[in-house]
């Protein structure tokens, strides 16, 4: 399944990771990870807000089964035209809801008549935080996501309150983006706008849109608001807010056609890794040409490959282990006026399996990052390929290249010069009559070079395998 992610800088210490769901590949095995059934436990609610003429979507409250992370427990609604004043819908003590106290807020449950309309694809929003004081001087933060109805009015896909005292999750691996290290995060899911704009999502859109159709190519507007002051009226918490930042997210993944290929070379023991653009069927385009189709000035981009080697092996105690044994980076900085063709270069990678003799399998993973240096957005495409011991791969790529032996023991070869008593250098050799002694006439010559290439002899001697291995 393809994995496509975009990163947006919300504040200097807060980062949005937007993960597009794959709506086209087979959903048989992982439907629960990409689709939420809104007909049964995970009910969908709509609130029409007369204060600001917006429509809000959220799922079953926190007491029920909730997979979206957006419910009555963290829902806030605007109570004026520009959302500078907002209210937390649920009273934490009495559990009463503010939308039942005023006629300006009308909430209803969405009814689904068939299975086709209730199965909805959801994108994922992950809010990352640095170790710094990311709240700054604000008591709380509010995260909003909107799409446009056919007439341009906003439909809220998320309107979440995040308090200073709320729990965050630790990142399994600290995230380094734009020279900042992010260590914690929160996450929630929103209906996929790409799904809603497709034929498959028409039945769902009829349930949420006044016009049964969204605005063509509507972007996703993502806002972050800071709470300047909090006060209580009638048992409900109200917030004075100000907008900190707003970003526009394309409703579809514009880099959807880009994928990374990992394949074993045909002319040696190594792997070729490169980016490829699929135009449909067997038609392809170079990565550099594709970048120009999306942006007239691709020199603003940095292209980075992070290649990682993972090994699964059994240790000496017969326990399964997973370990990352290698990472390397390949960088093309187009903002430094490098050759565009470098984007299309094939990376030649030879893995070295540290536990080759005990490996069950190894995985080559390539994380392709397309970084826009102008607006600090980052697109991530991740691909991996697995190679199993049953196919002979780990031992093939071990620390030492295997030695090759013939059926017969190898031969030891000695090469030497065979000289005869010839007057090759004009030095006369005279043998004494009747004795084994010789008399030599000495001559003095200036020698500038020496070349020996005549009368070369070779001797062959049998040696054992042990002699070779001990060399």
CA dist 105 and 51 (Å) reads: 8
Instruction: Please report the sign of the dihedral spanned by the C-alpha atoms of residue 445, residue 448, residue 452, residue 454.
Output: negative
CA dist 106 and 90 (Å) reads: 15
**Looking at residue 308, which CATH number applies to its domain?**
2.60.40
Instruction: Identify which of 315, 335, 413, 433 has the alpha carbon closest to the alpha carbon of residue 376.
Output: 335
Give the structural domain span for 282.
258-396
Tokens found for residue 179: 């020279």
User: Are 84 and 132 found together in one domain?
Assistant: yes
User: Are 270 and 226 found together in one domain?
Assistant: no
402: in domain: no
pLDDT reported for residue 1: 47
149: in domain: yes
* H-helix or E-strand spanning residue 16: strand 14-20
User: Are 283 and 334 found together in one domain?
Assistant: yes
Instruction: Please report the sign of the dihedral spanned by the C-alpha atoms of residue 101, residue 102, residue 105, residue 107.
Output: positive
208 Cβ neighbours under 8 A, 6+ residues apart: 46, 55, 57, 110, 155
User: Are 186 and 304 found together in one domain?
Assistant: no
pLDDT reported for residue 162: 96
Residue by residue, pLDDT tens for the chain (471 residues) are 456 889 999 999 999 999 999 887 766 545 567 898 888 788 999 999 999 999 999 998 767 778 899 999 999 999 999 999 999 999 988 889 999 999 999 999 999 987 778 889 999 999 999 988 999 999 999 999 999 999 999 999 999 999 999 999 999 888 888 788 999 999 999 999 999 999 999 999 999 999 999 999 999 999 999 999 999 998 999 999 999 999 999 998 888 888 899 999 999 999 999 998 887 777 888 888 888 887 667 778 889 999 999 999 999 899 999 999 999 999 888 766 556 567 888 999 999 999 998 999 999 999 999 888 887 788 888 899 999 998 888 888 998 876 665 666 666 667 666 655 555 555 555 555 555 555 555 555 565 655 666 665 666 666 666 665 565
User: Are 131 and 158 found together in one domain?
Assistant: yes
pLDDT reported for residue 276: 87
pLDDT reported for residue 392: 83
404: in domain: no
Domain total for the chain? 3
pLDDT reported for residue 104: 95
User: Are 136 and 19 found together in one domain?
Assistant: yes
User: Are 230 and 114 found together in one domain?
Assistant: yes
8 Å CB contact between 170 and 1: no
165: in domain: yes
CA-based radius of gyration for the chain: 35
406: in domain: no
């Amino acid at each position: 399944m393809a994995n496509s992610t975009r990163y947006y800088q919300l504040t200097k210490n807060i980062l949005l990771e937007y993960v597009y769901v794959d709506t086209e590949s087979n959903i048989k095995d992982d439907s629960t990870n990409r689709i939420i059934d809104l007909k049964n436990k995970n009910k969908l609610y709509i609130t029409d807000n007369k204060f600001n003429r917006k429509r809000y979507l959220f799922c079953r409250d926190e007491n029920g089964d909730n997979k979206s992370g957006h419910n009555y427990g963290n829902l806030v609604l605007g109570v004026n035209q520009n959302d500078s004043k907002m209210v937390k819908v649920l009273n934490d003590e009495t559990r009463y809801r503010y939308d039942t106290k005023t006629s300006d807020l009308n909430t209803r449950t969405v009814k689904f008549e068939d299975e086709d309309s209730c199965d909805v694809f959801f994108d994922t929003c992950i809010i990352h935080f640095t170790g710094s004081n990311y709240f700054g001087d604000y008591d709380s933060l509010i995260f909003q996501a909107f799409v446009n109805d056919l007439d341009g009015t906003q439909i809220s896909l998320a309107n979440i309150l995040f308090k200073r005292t709320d729990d965050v999750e630790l990142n399994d691996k600290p995230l380094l983006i734009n020279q900042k290290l992010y260590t914690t995060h929160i996450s929630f899911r929103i209906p996929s706008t790409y799904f809603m704009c497709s034929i498959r999502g028409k039945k769902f859109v009829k349930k949420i849109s006044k016009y049964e159709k969204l605005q063509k190519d509507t972007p996703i507007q993502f806002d972050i608001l800071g709470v300047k002051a909090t006060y209580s009226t009638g048992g409900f918490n109200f917030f004075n807010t100000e907008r900190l930042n707003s970003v526009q997210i394309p409703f579809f993944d514009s880099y959807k056609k880009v994928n990374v290929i990992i394949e074993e070379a045909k002319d040696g023991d190594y792997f070729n890794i490169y980016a490829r653009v699929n135009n449909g069927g067997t038609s392809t385009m170079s990565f550099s040409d594709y970048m120009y189709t999306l942006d007239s000035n691709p020199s603003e981009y940095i292209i980075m490959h992070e290649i990682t080697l993972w090994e699964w092996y059994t240790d000496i105690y017969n326990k399964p282990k997973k370990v990352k044994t290698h990472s390397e980076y390949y960088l093309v900085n187009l903002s430094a006026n490098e050759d565009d063709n470098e984007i299309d270069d094939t990376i030649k990678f030879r893995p070295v399996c540290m536990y080759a003799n005990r490996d069950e399998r190894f995985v080559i993973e390539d994380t392709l990052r397309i970084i826009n240096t102008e607006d600090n957005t980052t697109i991530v495409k991740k691909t991996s390929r697995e190679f199993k011991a049953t196919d002979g791969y780990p031992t093939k790529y071990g620390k030492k290249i295997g030695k090759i032996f013939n059926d017969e023991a190898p031969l030891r070869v000695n090469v030497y010069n065979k000289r005869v008593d010839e007057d090759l250098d004009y030095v006369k050799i005279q043998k004494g009559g009747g004795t084994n002694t010789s008399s030599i006439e000495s001559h003095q010559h200036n020698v500038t070079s020496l070349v020996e290439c005549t009368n070369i002899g070779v001797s062959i001697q049998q040696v054992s395998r042990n002699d070779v291995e001990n060399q």
